[in-house]
Chain A
Amino acid sequence: MSTLTRDDIEIATRAADQFTRLYYSTYDSPTRVIDLPKFYRPSSAITWNGNPFAGADAVRDLLNETPITKHEVQCFDCHPIPGGQPPNLLVTVSGTVTYGNPANPTVPSNNSAKSKNVDGQPRVFSQTFVLVPDSSAVPAKTSEVAKYYISADALRFVG
């Protein structure tokens, strides 16, 4: 098994940076039903709070029944997984997510009321991805070493 180089690490880091930014901004966007499944392939395995799904189409179905979201990524990390070249990537993300519209405009704004209601507060989420290079995809740009997709995605509300 080849040793990972500093270049591998550098590329993995950049990929995670780019991926988390793109993934969650897409998730929170009005066009998510069309755009988010593009990160997946038919073989992708997904769990959403313990509910299993398979493939990009299932992601679309899941999104169709999911309220609007607002994610805040507070912490993420990424490793190149030893073994392949280009390597698979393990990405973990920790942050908060708010579902639905937290502010009910018909309620007179009462700060203490809002802040005391746990149900209206952002949840802590933990999401882990395995990103895998798509050997069949031709990189769109010369500077791309590979095109990656989400092979595994496990999400849980954890707080």
Chain B
Amino acid sequence: MDRDERMREVQDKPGGRKGSSRIRTHRQRPIDNYKDQAAGSSRVSMVNIASSSEPLSIRGASRPTAAGRIRRNAVSLNTSKVPGMPATSTAVVGVKATDQWREYVRSRYNRETRFLNLERMLDDPIVQKYNLLVPGVPGSSGKETAAMFKLAAQLRPPVQTLSLANNHIQSGKDISSVGMFLPKLANLSLANNQLKTMDDIRLLTREKNKLDFLRELVLTGNPIKGNDPANAEQYRRDIVKRFPALEMLDNEPIVKVGFDAPTPHANPSHRLTPIPTTNSFARPMSPSFVMGVDGGLVSEFLTRFFTLFDTQRSELLDVYHPAATFSFSANTSIPPRARIQGLHSTLPNQKNLKWDIWLGGGNGGSRNLSRVGNVDKMAQSLHLGRENVVQSILGLPKTKHDISGAPSGFCLDGWLTGSTLFVTVHGQFTEEPVNALRSFDRSFVLAPAADDSRAKMKGWTVEILSDQLTVRAYSSSDAWTPGPMVVQPIVASKDSQPPNLEAALASIPEPQRAQVARLCQQTGLNVNFAVDCLQQNGWDHERAVGNFEQVKVRVNCFRGFCRIRPCGELRHSAGRSSGLNLCVYLMMLTYLT
């Protein structure tokens, strides 16, 4: 790894005066712009820099002071013959400061190795000459630094390696703009500074300014690294988590697994295939899918499993493999569709459900890895071995899975992968003692029960190798009702409204007309149905919309039948039966036609 050697070499010979003078031989001269013929784009870019009159959008050194503003006014008063002419004098002052920074940044750049060496900045003669306020120096602000990194972003070929070692940098604020201006940076050394906490590193990886392509990071010689080996694992994990592409930290490789993932900077010209813009999915929601094994085997297993999970969890010890793994996660987000359907406000006892019991319970707590940052928690919340598994599930809230109820309440997909059976189940249970519904997803990896296994002796045909449970706020099982699905509703816009809608609306008296139009637009109902719906709901818009959504949920339930029975037949039966009120019936017709 020549990259590492390079980085190490840099650390061994920190660039002082001597180092910088050596590097200064690479200082940009105009002729250099034409030397580097290898990269066709670089010449253009260099020319761009040379002729760049673009003011720094983040003004650091060039920010006009109050005095500067007054002076500019004075100048523009004196030279007001050409209105709108830029105020030249301030611009000169600003550009001058920028030029000083540019001179410094360029002097420290090695284009061959694409290495920007900003070590020991205070020792640099250019910094000293202009008294540049480099990061880490009292009085310097993020703005100067941002200006410096902005200039670094203009270097060509682009900077690959940046060293800010040995600079008394005390806060992440001093360097928070690195990611903004050098987002593709591959190697970064911050060795021998005064970075103390993970917050300093967080500032380096804020949302848009993440260093997503950083492969190597050096933080040795900073207090954050600490000397306590007990914290080393946490430190490493915290850092690794923040930089997805990191391969080396403090000169030690980060062991990980690879994927044939796309290169993150995939060529946009690869945008070959048009993305479909149809309004329905090409595939419908389909029923449970089981392949490679007898479906009876799977349902028998699940029925017995959930029955024991509800009534006698300790007995499940038999069905877990001695080396089994189990964990549970709480997804506490509010499901958007269920919220609009009002499920959490109308279903019994929903308001009494608490997440704490899941987040902290089960002998180790929820293992949602998008939240769990602590290494110990990450290890404690994964239960290894069947005794520990059972200890954990005994610590979870009591549940009641409605196994004997309608099969549509559950949905499962499963098939053989190699010698194991992979099964994932979606459904709901009643959480006790609150007596309220929650939804869950549960994934199992099962193996045939060995002849001498405890599972086999207790009559199980399979045993569990892995079991992952996700608990969510309740969503209706209508989500997996078989049938076609809509991508996005076709919202009737003013332009696309059929002309007869305008005409139909015109027949409605004015106070209600706007309300009817609004409901038509929002729900796609025609004028007559919208009027019906509003009348039934006392002309209360919100109630009418709520009613419409409720009805639609029920209509969705029927969609499964539509595939079996001709729609005409359904129309009759829906009209005759089940006490559906007229509005519902009419709306169903609008949906079914």
- Contact at A159–B275, with CB atoms within 8 Å? no
Q: A93-133 toward B: CB 8 Å interface, digit per residue (1/0)?
A: 01110011110101110101101111111111010101111
- Give Cα A13 to B237, complex, Å: 10
Residue of A47, A74, A110, A159 touching B370 (CB-CB under 8 A): A74
- Contact at A157–B479, with CB atoms within 8 Å? yes
- Contact at B325–A4, with CB atoms within 8 Å? yes
**Cβ of A52 under 8 Å from chain B:** yes
- Contact at A96–B283, with CB atoms within 8 Å? no
Chain B residues near A64 (CB-CB < 8 A):
273, 276
- Contact at B283–A141, with CB atoms within 8 Å? no
- Contact at B260–A149, with CB atoms within 8 Å? yes
Chain A residues near B378 (CB-CB < 8 A):
9-10, 13
- Contact at B244–A94, with CB atoms within 8 Å? no
- Contact at A16–B323, with CB atoms within 8 Å? no
Given A82-B466, A94-B329: A124 in contact with B323 (beta carbons within 8 A): no
- Contact at A159–B382, with CB atoms within 8 Å? no
- Give Cα A23 to B36, complex, Å: 38
How far apart are B188's CB and chain A's nearest CB, in angstroms? 17
**Cβ of B506 under 8 Å from chain A:** no
Residue of A33, A107, A147 touching B521 (CB-CB under 8 A): A107
Given A33-B272, A90-B445, A143-B254: A118 in contact with B262 (beta carbons within 8 A): no
Contact residues of B between 465 and 498, Cβ < 8 Å to A: 465-466, 468, 470, 472, 475-476, 479-480, 482, 485-489, 491, 493-496
- Contact at B262–A146, with CB atoms within 8 Å? no
- Contact at A92–B335, with CB atoms within 8 Å? no
- Contact at B487–A39, with CB atoms within 8 Å? no
**Cβ of A59 under 8 Å from chain B:** no
Given A123-B479, A149-B260: A82 in contact with B325 (beta carbons within 8 A): yes
- Contact at B262–A81, with CB atoms within 8 Å? no
- Contact at A80–B258, with CB atoms within 8 Å? no
Nearest residue (CB) in B for A126 is B441
- Give Cα A16 to B335, complex, Å: 23
- Contact at A152–B415, with CB atoms within 8 Å? yes
Nearest residue (CB) in B for A73 is B370
Residue of B255, B262, B278, B445 touching A143 (CB-CB under 8 A): B255
Chain B residues near A126 (CB-CB < 8 A):
424, 426, 441, 470
Chain B residues near A19 (CB-CB < 8 A):
259
- Contact at B266–A15, with CB atoms within 8 Å? no
Contact residues of B between 327 and 370, Cβ < 8 Å to A: 327, 329-331, 333, 335-338, 340-341, 367-370
Q: B384-420 toward A: CB 8 Å interface, digit per residue (1/0)?
A: 1100000000000000000000000001010101101
- Contact at B493–A118, with CB atoms within 8 Å? no
How far apart are B254's CB and chain A's nearest CB, in angstroms? 6
**Cβ of B281 under 8 Å from chain A:** yes
- Contact at B257–A77, with CB atoms within 8 Å? no
- Give Cα A63 to B283, complex, Å: 11
**Cβ of B532 under 8 Å from chain A:** no
- Contact at A148–B259, with CB atoms within 8 Å? yes
How many chain A residues sit at the interface, stated as a range, is 35 or more
**Cβ of A135 under 8 Å from chain B:** no
Q: B539-568 toward A: CB 8 Å interface, digit per residue (1/0)?
A: 000100110010011000000000000000
How far apart are B367's CB and chain A's nearest CB, in angstroms? 5
Given A120-B489, A130-B445: A156 in contact with B411 (beta carbons within 8 A): yes
- Give Cα A132 to B270, complex, Å: 28
- Contact at B413–A11, with CB atoms within 8 Å? no
**Cβ of B80 under 8 Å from chain A:** no
- Give Cα A29 to B275, complex, Å: 11
Nearest residue (CB) in B for A147 is B258
- Contact at A124–B479, with CB atoms within 8 Å? yes
Contact residues of B between 103 and 145, Cβ < 8 Å to A: none
- Contact at B286–A50, with CB atoms within 8 Å? yes
- Contact at B443–A92, with CB atoms within 8 Å? yes
Residue of B323, B336, B379 touching A82 (CB-CB under 8 A): B323
How far apart are A91's CB and chain B's nearest CB, in angstroms? 9
Chain A residues near B253 (CB-CB < 8 A):
142-143
Chain B residues near A142 (CB-CB < 8 A):
1, 253
Chain B residues near A48 (CB-CB < 8 A):
283
Nearest residue (CB) in B for A50 is B286
List 9 A-B residue pairs with CB atoms under 8 Å apart, sorted by A's residue number.
Answer: A49-B284, A50-B287, A67-B488, A75-B371, A82-B324, A92-B329, A154-B424, A156-B411, A159-B439
